[in-house]
Structure 1
Amino acid sequence: MAETSPHARCLACAFPFWEQLTPAEQERLCRFTRPVHYAKGTRVHSPLESCVGILLLRSGQLRSYLLSEDGRDVTLYRLFGGEVCILSASCVMDAVNIDLYIDAEEDTEALCISAGIFRQLMQENVYVRCYAYQMTAERFSDTMWTMQQILFMSADRRLAIFLTDELAKTGGADLRMTHDQMAKYMGSAREVVSRMLKYFAQEGWVRLYRGGVQVLDKQKLQALARGE
């Protein structure tokens, strides 16, 4: 029975389609779910590797990005504890064909669901299929938003958006992150980020310190992020 599985509660909380599964489908999903650990810096998924499976993050952080032939990368989005990584099993989506890389940015604990089993459930259960397409659409929406920023927004506005988004996740005023990390997550150059941060500091919006940034005027950054 699915109720006896150690993963049943996590799966039930993570997937809105859980109650729409038959007991047999719930049991199958639990049986083909296993805990995985990725150390910081581990390559989780690449176009050259087989399908990893659906990942339900319990803690840690994953970064999804594109990699150019000359080694430059563009961060598309990041995932944190409680979120689901569906493009690590892009093989279950026939319409998805993208050379995506996924790395562990922090030590990460997750539950991994077999790609083959998830694909079977998609074929059998319309609720699972709708969920998979909805999640894929959301990730591609994140990707398009990232590309829109890179292609059409000024560097200062992009940095303001990044800072306000990151602080919204913590609810604080300090962001402990190096200029290199910010540039990587923004798909920008370190020199550009450092120059913009120095400008923000001169305006009195932020205070810079070793390994981090403290936001002093959140309203000004939010206004810039909105394009005002």
Structure 2
Amino acid sequence: MNQQDREYLAKHLSFWRHLTDAERADAEGCTFAAVYPKGKKLYGGNKECLGLVLVESGQLRAFITSKEGKEISLYRLLSLDVCILSASCMIKNLNFDVNIEVEKDSRLFVLPTDCFNRLSNENIAVKNFALELMSARFSEVMWVFDQYVFGTAAGRLARFLLEHSALEDSDTLRVTHEAIANDLGTAREVVTRLLKHFATDNVVALGRSTIQILDKEKLEELGVSQNEV
């Protein structure tokens, strides 16, 4: 790890400045930077827990898989995000089987499990950092579950389109109905039917593997009103 990487960690991990010289040397010796290609599975199933992850660039998706094999996206990780749930196997009593995969080529900083455990046991600032992140991420996950319990497929689809439009900074999304269905944890036929309904209402225009958003205000209304049904 070079000096630029050390400065990056010190700037973007708030507990770094609270480490002693010995702890900082330990953390710097453990932490490594790595580039992961799109489609790489970082954590899930029988894969070994990677550790604490800081995203320098790229995009990752955290999701769970139902017994029927349907995927439900929990959240996405962008630049400067810390993936505390990748460290779930380091934290006792967290029985949450989360999968994490790379959606765009990504460069990550990884603080491995054993090193993170050691720092957390020795330094209260590290432990508090982890607990605060865990609490924030847990709130996000509970929000997603709330949408599945009390929301509707139309509302979730509207929010999906708005979220991905913001992520791609474009009103034209290149995504298949199957990919959307996997993200939302529903059937492809349901997504296709809803998109056709959106198109009939001139909210979107459908092309070959593309969806063009025509009316963001209407999508925002759908995302809110359908959640209140």
TM-score by length of 2: 0.89
Which amino acid in 2 is paired with 1:78?
R
How far apart are residue 27 of structure 1 and its match?
2.1
Residue from 134, 158, 161 that aligns with 1:160? 158
How far apart are residue 82 of structure 1 and its match?
2.3
CA gap 1:69/1:224 in 2 versus in 1, 3 angstroms: closer
Residue from 160, 185, 188 that aligns with 1:187? 185
> Quick one: distance in 2 between partners of 1:225 and 1:117?
42
Residue from 140, 143, 148 that aligns with 2:141? 143
> Quick one: distance in 1 between partners of 2:140 and 2:96?
14
| Partner secondary structure for residue 74 of structure 1 | strand
> Quick one: distance in 2 between partners of 1:156 and 1:47?
30
Residue from 221, 225, 229 that aligns with 1:223? 221
> Quick one: distance in 2 between partners of 1:191 and 1:69?
20
Residue in 1 that maps onto 2:24: 26
CA RMSD in angstroms, aligned pairs only: 2.1
Whether the 8 Å contact between 1:51 and 1:89 is mirrored in structure 2 is yes
Whether the 8 Å contact between 2:71 and 2:183 is mirrored in structure 1 is no
> Quick one: distance in 1 between partners of 2:41 and 2:168?
26
TM-score by length of 1: 0.89
What runs of 5+ residues in structure 1 fail to find an aligned partner?
none
Residue in 2 that maps onto 1:44: 42
CA gap 1:65/1:16 in 2 versus in 1, 3 angstroms: same
Q: Could you list the per-position Cα deviations for residues 187-222 of structure 1 after superposition, in whole angstroms to 9, with x for gaps in the alignment? A: 222111111111111111111222222211111111
Whether the 8 Å contact between 2:70 and 2:185 is mirrored in structure 1 is no
Percent identity among equivalent residues? 38
The number of residue pairs the alignment matches comes to 226
How far apart are residue 40 of structure 1 and its match?
2.3
> Quick one: distance in 1 between partners of 2:125 and 2:108?
23
> Quick one: distance in 1 between partners of 2:4 and 2:94?
32
Residue from 114, 120, 124 that aligns with 1:116? 114
Q: Could you list the per-position Cα deviations for residues 70-127 of structure 1 after superposition, in whole angstroms to 9, with x for gaps in the alignment? A: 4333222222232111222223212312222222223322111111111122122222
| Partner secondary structure for residue 213 of structure 1 | strand
Residue in 1 that maps onto 2:199: 201
Larger deviation, residues 164-173 vs 180-189:
164-173
What runs of 5+ residues in structure 2 fail to find an aligned partner?
none
Whether the 8 Å contact between 1:64 and 1:100 is mirrored in structure 2 is yes
Residue in 2 that maps onto 1:10: 8
Over 6 Å off, 4+ runs: none
Matched, 1:126 2:124: yes
